[in-house]
Chains A and B, each alone.
Chain A
Amino acid sequence: MIEISNLHKSFRDKHILSGVNLDIETGKVTTIIGRSGCGKSVLLKHIVALLRPDRGKVVVEGENLNDMSSSELFEIRKKMGLVFQNGALFDSMNVDENVGLGLREHTKLSEKEISDKITRLLDMVGLPGIEKYKPSELSGGMKKRVSLARALAMEPKYVLYDEPTTGLDPIMAAIIDDLIIRLNTELSITSIVVTHDMHSVYEISDRVAMLHYGVVRFCGSTDELKNTTDPVVRQFIEGKIDGPIQPVLKDGR
Chain B
Amino acid sequence: MASFKKIIVLIAEFFFIDKFGKKVLTFFSGMGESIILFYFAVKNLRYVHRDRKLVLEQMVIVGFNSIPLVIVSATFAGMVSAVQAGYQLQGFGSPNMFLGSATARAITTELAPVLTGLVLSGRFGASIAAEIGTMKVTEQIDALETLAIDPIRYLATPRLLAGIIMMPLLIVIADFIAIGGSMFIGYISMDVAPQAFFASVQRFMEVRDLMAGIVKAFLFGTSTALIGCYVGFSTEGGAEGVGQATIRAFVLSSAAILVNDYVVASIFFL
Contact = CB atoms under 8 A, between A and B. Distances in A.
Contacts of A132: none
Contacts of A75: 148
A88, A90, A101, A151, most chain B CB atoms within 10 A = A88
Contacts of B149: 74, 101-102, 105
Nearest to A147: B143
Nearest to B139: A88
B143 A81 contact: no
Nearest to A103: B147
B148 A77 contact: yes
Contacts of A112: none
Contacts of B146: 48, 50, 77, 80-82, 151
A102 B143 contact: no
A75 B145 CA distance: 11
B150 interface: yes
Interface in A42-58: 45, 48, 50
B142 A101 contact: no
A9 to B, nearest CB: 16
Interface string A70-100: 1000110110111010101111100000000
Interface string A60-75: 0000000000100011
Q: DSSP majority for the B interface?
A: helix
Interface in A130-166: 147, 150-151, 154
Interface string B51-87: 0000000000000000000000000000000000000
Contacts of B189: none
A91 B142 CA distance: 14
Contacts of B139: 84, 86, 88
Contacts of B148: 74-75, 77-78, 102, 105-106
Contacts of A86: 138-139
Interface residues on B, range: 10 to 19
Interface string A102-114: 1001100000000
Interface string B177-203: 000000000000000000000000000
B145 A50 contact: yes
A40 to B, nearest CB: 15
Nearest to A84: B139
Contacts of A80: 146
B111 to A, nearest CB: 35
A220 to B, nearest CB: 29
Nearest to A92: B131
B147 A88 contact: no
A92 B128 CA distance: 13
B140 interface: yes
B108 interface: no
A84 B135 CA distance: 13
B150 to A, nearest CB: 7
B134 interface: yes
B54 to A, nearest CB: 11
Nearest to B154: A105
Contacts of B144: 90
Interface in B95-137: 131, 134-135
A78 B148 CA distance: 6
A80 B135 CA distance: 21
B16 to A, nearest CB: 24
Contacts of B142: 45, 50, 82, 84, 88
Nearest to B145: A50
A157 B147 CA distance: 13
Nearest to B131: A92
Given A70-B150, A91-B134, A77 B145 contact: yes
A76 to B, nearest CB: 8
B113 to A, nearest CB: 30
B143 A90 contact: yes
B71 to A, nearest CB: 27
A68 to B, nearest CB: 13
B46 to A, nearest CB: 13
A74 B150 contact: yes
A154 B147 contact: yes
B26 to A, nearest CB: 15
A90 B138 CA distance: 9
| Closest 8 pairs (CB-CB, A-B) | A88-B139, A88-B143, A74-B148, A82-B146, A77-B148, A102-B147, A78-B148, A50-B142
Given A77-B145, A88-B143, 15 more contacts: A74-B150, A77-B146, A77-B147, A77-B148, A78-B148, A82-B142, A84-B142, A86-B138, A89-B143, A91-B140, A92-B131, A102-B148, A105-B147, A106-B148, A151-B146
11 contacts: A48-B146, A78-B148, A81-B146, A82-B142, A82-B146, A89-B140, A91-B135, A101-B149, A105-B149, A106-B148, A154-B147
